[in-house]
Structure 1
Amino acid sequence: MARDARSEKIAVRSAVRARRLGRSAAERARRGAGLAEQLIGLVSAHGARSVTAYAPLTGEPDVNGFLRWAHETGVRVLLPVSLPGHRIAWAVDTGAHVEGLHGIPEPGGPRLETGAAAEVDLLIVPACAVDASGTRLGWGLGYYDRMLGSLDRRPPVYAVVDDEDVYASLPRDAHDVPVTGAVTASRVLRFAPDGER
């Protein structure tokens, strides 16, 4: 990766992290409610009965309202389990989380292989930022790019970000897997027709 692209990614990650951590609890709650509404609408529009999602870390867009709704309505949710080597396995979300690798909350139940993500109807993934072409910027460890790149079948992939984290353009490297769309507290964006990515 060119030095300029690396520097730009570092700058974007730093700005996003500062913005997210600087929000008040009331603002985070407001955004979380909007995000739940948008995610419920997306899942309902797709008729999805199984999805991937994530248990948010401090500062990440709060999807807990969506996770509660999914549990109450019988939508099967797979949450990531971090493995050594920057790999992801999955486990079914039962609502009870334990602290996993790097302090990341994860389900305590039986593990499923990385490829289990290919069997869901929608992939809902965390992100630092996205751009209008579907470039997803993560936090630099490559967990999700590795997972997405390894799937034989890739359901539509939606990155969860804040409205301010949607950029006109971000650097994209050869290993970066683009997403179908993004979900924010106020909207669902589609960058490519579902199934094309």
Structure 2
Amino acid sequence: MSASLTPDPLTARAAAKRRVRAAVRAHRTARSAAARASAAAALSAQLIALVEASGARRVTCYLATQEEPDPSGFLAWAAEHGVEVLLPVSLADRTLAWVRAGEGAPVPGRHGILEPVGPRLPASAAGSADLLLIPACAVDRAGTRLGWGLGYYDRCLAGLAQRPPVYAVVFAEDRVAGLPRDPHDVPVTGVVTPAGIGRFPAETG
């Protein structure tokens, strides 16, 4: 086979990721309002259970788009129970800053996603949390997390000197058998869906 016909692994992984993202977008968009509301309540119950079991007092979380798993019930519970929550802000250089929840009413951010208003903490502030709850497109059974392609969380996680446990938040349908993993991809500790909580075995070697 000539060099020009040799498959490019990087291109193949990128194409595979695009296919997964398209499938996830399709089933999330098709979810009814009633199904979204039911999933939101169930997800918040799972997030509360995880935080209580871990004893976490400071966590990261996110403000959901209409299609994402909605943790708003958990955010309300955290505010009532003294759990400090850091919410992400997308910066122009595709890195994250963090703002403590409750500083002000959210406003549309760089990508049209609601973001918190208030004093900004650097990306490294995530390292001071007891638990990182982060959105994802999909997660496989080895703990590979697939995002939406902009790399904000990849950069944040890779840059932490000490990384707390990281749980990706997805719908149950977004847990898949396998995903392509690039060298910069940081595997997650576990996954939270409206149906339950899973923890992946630690990698060795």
* TM superposition score normalised by structure 1: 0.96
Note the alpha carbon deviations across 1:16-56, whole angstroms, 9 max, x for none.
Answer: 01100111100000101110010000000000011000000
Counterpart position of 2:86: 78
CA distance in 2, matches of 1:91, 1:71: 14
Which residue of 94, 102, 109 corresponds with 2:118? 109
Looking at structure 1, the residues matched to 173 and 51 of structure 2 have their Cα atoms a distance apart, in angstroms, of 23
After superposition, the C-alpha distances for 1:104-135 in whole angstroms (9 at most, x for unaligned) are: 21111100011000000000000000000100
- SS of the equivalent of 2:89 reads strand
2:19 matched residue in structure 1: 11
Amino acid paired to 2:158: G
Matched, 1:158 2:130: no
- Within-5 A mapping of 1:93-172: 93-94=101-102, 96-172=105-181
1:152 deviation in Å? 0.6
Give the secondary structure class of the aligned counterpart of 1:102.
Answer: coil
Instruction: Return the alpha-carbon distance in structure 2 between the equivalents of residues 25 and 128 of structure 1.
Output: 19
Name 1:27's counterpart in structure 2. Answer: 35
Decide which of 49, 63, 70 is 1:55's aligned counterpart.
Answer: 63
Q: Secondary structure at the match of 1:103?
A: coil
In the alignment, the residues of structure 2 paired with residue 31 and residue 99 of structure 1 have an alpha-carbon distance, to the nearest angstrom, of 24
Q: Partners in 1 of 2:80 and 2:33 — Cα distance?
A: 25
Question: 1:192 offset after TM fit, Å?
Answer: 3.0
Deviations 1:55-109 (A, max 9, x none): 0012011111111111111110000000011100000010621111111211111
Structure 2 unaligned spans of 5+: 1-8
Query: How many angstroms apart in 2 are the aligned matches of 1:164 and 1:28?
Result: 13
* Separation of aligned partners in 2, 1:96 and 1:186: 30
**Alignment-mate amino acid for residue 170 of structure 2:** V
TM-score calculated relative to the size of structure 2: 0.92
Give secondary structure in 2 for the equivalent of 1:67.
helix
- Sequence identity of aligned pairs in percent? 58
* Alpha-carbon offset, residue 3 of structure 1: 2.3
Q: Matches of 2:93 and 2:18 in 1, distance apart?
A: 22
Counterparts of 2:114 and 2:201 in 1: how far apart (Å)?
31
Report the equivalent of 1:41. 49
Instruction: Point out 4+ residue stretches in structure 1 off by more than 4 angstroms.
Output: none
Which amino acid in the other structure matches residue 85 of structure 2? V
Which of 88, 95, 109 is residue 87 of structure 1 equivalent to? 95
Say how many residue pairs are matched.
Answer: 195
